[in-house]
Amino acid sequence: MLFQKYFLIFTGICLEFLPDSTESIMENEGPTNLVSTTELKEEICKKADFKLFQEKLLALHSKTVEEIQLSKKGHDGSDLENFTNEISSKILAIQHEVREELTAGLNNLQNELSSQIQAQRDEARESFEAFKTDLLKSLNIDGLPSDSDPNFDCMELPDGVNQIVTGTGRQFDAYCQNGWLYITRRFDGSVFFDQDWVSYKEGFGDTEGEFFLGMDNIASILGQFSYKLKIEFTVWDNNETKCEAEYQTFGIEDEASGYTLSVGDYNGTCSDQMMYSNGLMFSTRDRDNDEDDEHNVALHNFGPGWYGKLGGGSNIFGVYSDDPNSEFCQQWMCMFWFDEGEGKTKVIKSFVMKIIPL
Ligand SMILES: [Ca+2]
């Protein structure tokens, strides 16, 4: 009977005497499986070490019986008032001891549960970080560069030749200057530019000298952000005229689309000649994608390009010549740009195409 009584006392005071700080755990630790203070308290009492308390209560029970028997021996039964008082004070002392034990045990349990909750939170946070990392990696498959990859164009790179790694993982060398990435550079005729389709697809020449970067490389860069195109060239004349053509809109599609060019929003000098190439596919001597049904303009011009029905107003990949008055150049077969302002064809002495993010 006495044991059952203490057992009931235990279950009652387990809930009643659970330290108030339990509520602060709930508030500070955020959402867990334990959704309310009451449920948390019940959880703690459920997990309390009943076996340990049973042993302690049984020991106290034996001690109480012993105390009562000892008290009985010292009394003849006539002094019942003293006997009752003595027993009551002993029971109160035992109850006090039980409560002390319970409080200590529950404090330990609370600390243990608190650690478990923290461990669950840490685990959840780690899982979320791993999920986030995987998600960002999967997004990068679309060709979007990540913050940890500064080589996707020349913006953050020093002047000179640098390795580029675009968002699709394409790697190649490119010539950089003041953040500009050079698509092509011509200045002395040391590299032959009337090359075939595969050469224009892959690129050719000397990255530190004359070169063409390659259509696939260019398309890979342009697929990352919006870039503007700047063409700078000089012509053979007594004034050593410098011309510029800047396009706020610039794009080159993939090989399957014939490296279709889009240029627009022109600003510059010496007139806009690339406008005649806008929206057209690229052609080489071995790949006629132009709009002239009778001829391969690239073959006729000795220079690949984006040609319409009437050819174009320039031959930027044509044969380099330092003799602008030759018959060859007069027939529009060498590298030229038509200046509409002056109404005459100008043979090019040096030429660059370069891009930079908008
Ligand atoms: Ca044709």
pLDDT of residue 69: 73
Distance 182 CA to ligand 1 centre (A): 29
- Cα gap 100→103, rounded to integer Å: 5
Distance 99 CA to ligand 1 centre (A): 100
CB-CB contact of 57 with 3 (8 Å) = yes
pLDDT of residue 35: 45
Distance 245 CA to ligand 1 centre (A): 27
Does 192 score more than 90 pLDDT? yes
pLDDT digits (tens, 9 = 90+) for 11-28: 555 555 555 544 444 444
Distance 295 CA to ligand 1 centre (A): 5
Mean pLDDT of 85-107: 75
CB-based neighbours (< 5 A) of ligand 1, an ion: 288, 290, 292, 296
Does 337 score more than 90 pLDDT? yes
Distance 287 CA to ligand 1 centre (A): 9
CB-CB contact of 183 with 193 (8 Å) = no
More confident residue, 85 or 321: 321
- Cα gap 280→260, rounded to integer Å: 5
Distance 172 CA to ligand 1 centre (A): 32
In a 10 Å sphere around its CB, with 0-12 CB exposed, 13-18 middle and 19+ buried, how is residue 154 labelled?
A: buried
CB-CB contact of 302 with 333 (8 Å) = yes
Please list the residues that pair with 172 across neighbouring strands. 164
Confidence of residue 116 (pLDDT cuts 50, 70, 90): confident
Mean pLDDT of 278-297: 95
Domains of the chain: 2-140 (no CATH), 160-357 (3.90.215.10)
* Helix, strand or coil, per DSSP, at residue 74: coil
Distance 304 CA to ligand 1 centre (A): 12
In a 10 Å sphere around its CB, with 0-12 CB exposed, 13-18 middle and 19+ buried, how is residue 314 labelled?
A: buried
Distance 294 CA to ligand 1 centre (A): 6
Distance 180 CA to ligand 1 centre (A): 34
Distance 118 CA to ligand 1 centre (A): 72
Distance 290 CA to ligand 1 centre (A): 5
Confidence of residue 228 (pLDDT cuts 50, 70, 90): very high
Distance 307 CA to ligand 1 centre (A): 9
pLDDT of residue 266: 97
CB-CB contact of 91 with 67 (8 Å) = no
Does 220 score more than 90 pLDDT? yes
Distance 329 CA to ligand 1 centre (A): 22
